[in-house]
Chain A
């Protein structure tokens, strides 16, 4: 109940944030722009629309997750709004979880709107829609949830600006972890252990990327999907727990 009202309040806060609408409009423009870009290519129209569409959804969703996510907690501390919440019978982890769920709700709704834009473009261009597209969208949302948890974790102990930089770094590295491993295997000794350690600790965000499957109309087996989902949820849960532990020990000065 308490978590739910904090989530709802966070959702309301997000809805009244202008940043959200700016990003959403840009995303829809990007998806729409694939129609113009289509004129420049020969054949492969479908792939282009799907590629640009899913790419924009992912990119702008991540921007929202990071730039709204980092403010979730640090803004509350800076503006001292947290004083009145923590002094009520609300546990700190409940506050954190509520904030997280509120932004997740915002992201799900945003993704739905962007997906509707993409579907509209696909419909008008008579592109056949396969089930794998929705699976890919689901995985994109899961990636957002992991990124949001990363942003939330950083914002429990550092400033908004630093959190943004850290989270962005994790996002970029998270998509390159396979390369990290490949690099590591070419190395010896300590360098190898460090890179392999990073491979296992950092989120493997590329696992959530099913864009290739969509453009090539390759279905993903349910078992694989389940594994990816389990990985995403477990990773998110771990990050949230870590964030709660740090947040619990913090002084609000």
Chain B
């Protein structure tokens, strides 16, 4: 069997309709999402709040039943215990049994995987030190801060040494240090050969961490692929130039090329949006004997893509309404 080539997570045309309110009004939360997560990659599931990220993840974890479509974990249909046994899951802003200490809490979860006695205690010690919570192992969870809960939550997700870790908004509500720690943890998981799928609306984190991302908006998948490919498809390449000692007549020649010109005393900052404009501007600078201080290409980011897709969806909705 060729285990490597098979996707670990396979979602096919997943759809979920919720009935809300007294009259059971139908609301489409997830609308025909299909995607695959391959072994060993870090997969980002991105989208604004309320886009359907959590609903999709809940369907994967068997907490919600799909209205249509199928999904599988390790080739097993969702809800199958043998699939779940290889998965670790951290829900969004997790709440746990607050009357338990973190040690008792992790022991409770360990029992579900048949972990017992000293083997379990050893695993718990490892996990508590991995997430940096050894100092609070005998404190009841209700005395924990949000960041501490998140860490214990991650420890809980890793108790069975899962092959696939699914984290729902692991960085939300954390301070910058906490976020960095979660990022480091995800990278460490990747290094140890695990597959990580996480949802987020913080694109910067996704760009730093993910091999591939999927973007979901209003329940629909709008983009899916390698981060670099998705960004490369974006045409907005801008170059920022900072020039010293530029004579006024030279400036006049550059102005038509630039999208934006900012004067700061002796210094001029221009923004150019095509390679041709950059070449021509460099020519002018050289011939006018001005000094080029900095040349910064503005890389397109996931954020640009995100905003463009969001605008596209909005205008499509607007067109339908009007």
B112 near A88: Cβ-Cβ < 8 Å: yes
Say yes or no for B202: interface residue by CB 8 A criterion: no
> Is chain A's binding surface mostly helix, strand, loop or mixed?
loop
A84 near B89: Cβ-Cβ < 8 Å: yes
A87 near B89: Cβ-Cβ < 8 Å: yes
Considering the chains assembled together, what is the distance between the CA atoms of A177 and B262 in angstroms?
88
7 further interface pairs, Cβ-Cβ under 8 Å (given A1-B111, A89-B112, A91-B81)? A2-B112, A80-B94, A81-B97, A83-B61, A86-B61, A89-B82, A251-B65
Residues of chain B lying within 8 A (CB to CB) of residue A80? 91, 94-95
A86 near B62: Cβ-Cβ < 8 Å: yes
**Among B62, B112, B156, contact of A5 (Cβ-Cβ < 8 Å):** B112
Say yes or no for A219: interface residue by CB 8 A criterion: no
B112 near A90: Cβ-Cβ < 8 Å: yes
Residues of chain B lying within 8 A (CB to CB) of residue A81? 95-97
Residues of chain B lying within 8 A (CB to CB) of residue A1? 111, 114
Residues of chain A lying within 8 A (CB to CB) of residue B97? 9, 13, 81
Residues of chain A lying within 8 A (CB to CB) of residue B94? 80, 83-84
What per-residue 1/0 map shows which CB atoms of B56-67 lie under 8 Å from chain A? 001001111100
Residues of chain B lying within 8 A (CB to CB) of residue A87? 61-63, 84, 87, 89, 91
Which residues does B use to contact A, with CB under 8 Å? 18, 58, 61-65, 81-82, 84-85, 87, 89, 91, 94-97, 99-100, 104, 108-109, 111-114, 153, 156, 160
A12 near B100: Cβ-Cβ < 8 Å: yes
Residues of chain B lying within 8 A (CB to CB) of residue A88? 84, 89, 109, 112-113, 160
Give the distance to chain A from B174, nearest Cβ to Cβ, in Å.
18
Say yes or no for A200: interface residue by CB 8 A criterion: no
Say yes or no for A186: interface residue by CB 8 A criterion: no
Residues of chain A lying within 8 A (CB to CB) of residue B91? 80, 83-84, 87
**Among B58, B99, B100, B156, contact of A84 (Cβ-Cβ < 8 Å):** B156
B100 near A2: Cβ-Cβ < 8 Å: no
Say yes or no for A216: interface residue by CB 8 A criterion: no
Which residue of the partner chain B has the closest CB to A83? Answer: B91
Closest 6 CB pairs of A and B: A5-B111, A89-B81, A87-B61, A83-B91, A87-B89, A16-B99
Say which size band chain A's interface belongs to.
20 to 34
**Among A2, A5, A90, A252, contact of B58 (Cβ-Cβ < 8 Å):** A252
Residues of chain B lying within 8 A (CB to CB) of residue A2? 111-112
What per-residue 1/0 map shows which CB atoms of A84-125 lie under 8 Å from chain B? 111111110000000000000000000000000000000000
| Listed A/B pairs (18) with beta-carbon separation below 8 Å | A2-B111, A9-B100, A12-B100, A13-B99, A81-B96, A84-B156, A86-B61, A87-B61, A87-B63, A87-B91, A88-B109, A90-B81, A90-B112, A251-B18, A251-B63, A251-B65, A252-B58, A253-B64
Give the distance to chain B from A208, nearest Cβ to Cβ, in Å.
32
Give the distance to chain A from B56, nearest Cβ to Cβ, in Å.
13
Considering the chains assembled together, what is the distance between the CA atoms of A228 and B112 in angstroms?
36
Residues of chain A lying within 8 A (CB to CB) of residue B156? 84
Considering the chains assembled together, what is the distance between the CA atoms of A86 and B112 in angstroms?
10
Kindly identify, within residues 150 to 201 of chain A, every residue whose CB is under 8 Å from any CB belonging to chain B. Answer: none
Residues of chain B lying within 8 A (CB to CB) of residue A12? 99-100, 104
Which residue of the partner chain B has the closest CB to A17? Answer: B99
Considering the chains assembled together, what is the distance between the CA atoms of A13 and B108 in angstroms?
12
Residues of chain B lying within 8 A (CB to CB) of residue A253? 18, 64
A86 near B99: Cβ-Cβ < 8 Å: no
Kindly identify, within residues 196 to 253 of chain A, every residue whose CB is under 8 Å from any CB belonging to chain B. Answer: 249, 251-253
Which residue of the partner chain A has the closest CB to B98? Answer: A79
Which residue of the partner chain A has the closest CB to B18? Answer: A253
Residues of chain A lying within 8 A (CB to CB) of residue B64? 251-253
Residues of chain B lying within 8 A (CB to CB) of residue A249? 65
Of A1, A84, A251, most buried by chain B (CB within 10 Å of CB) is A84
Which residue of the partner chain A has the closest CB to B19? Answer: A251
Considering the chains assembled together, what is the distance between the CA atoms of A83 and B91 in angstroms?
7
What per-residue 1/0 map shows which CB atoms of A1-31 lie under 8 Å from chain B? 1100100010011001000000000000000
Considering the chains assembled together, what is the distance between the CA atoms of A88 and B85 in angstroms?
7
> In the complex where A2-B112, A5-B112, A251-B64 touch, is A89 in contact with B84 (Cβ < 8 A)?
yes
Give the distance to chain A from B247, nearest Cβ to Cβ, in Å.
66
A79 near B99: Cβ-Cβ < 8 Å: no
**Among A5, A13, A91, A252, contact of B63 (Cβ-Cβ < 8 Å):** A252
Residues of chain A lying within 8 A (CB to CB) of residue B89? 83-84, 87-88
Which residue of the partner chain B has the closest CB to A252? Answer: B63
Give the distance to chain A from B131, nearest Cβ to Cβ, in Å.
15
Which residue of the partner chain A has the closest CB to B168? Answer: A83
Of A1, A87, A249, A252, most buried by chain B (CB within 10 Å of CB) is A87
Which residue of the partner chain A has the closest CB to B85? Answer: A89
Kindly identify, within residues 35 to 54 of chain A, every residue whose CB is under 8 Å from any CB belonging to chain B. Answer: none
Of A5, A89, A91, A253, most buried by chain B (CB within 10 Å of CB) is A89
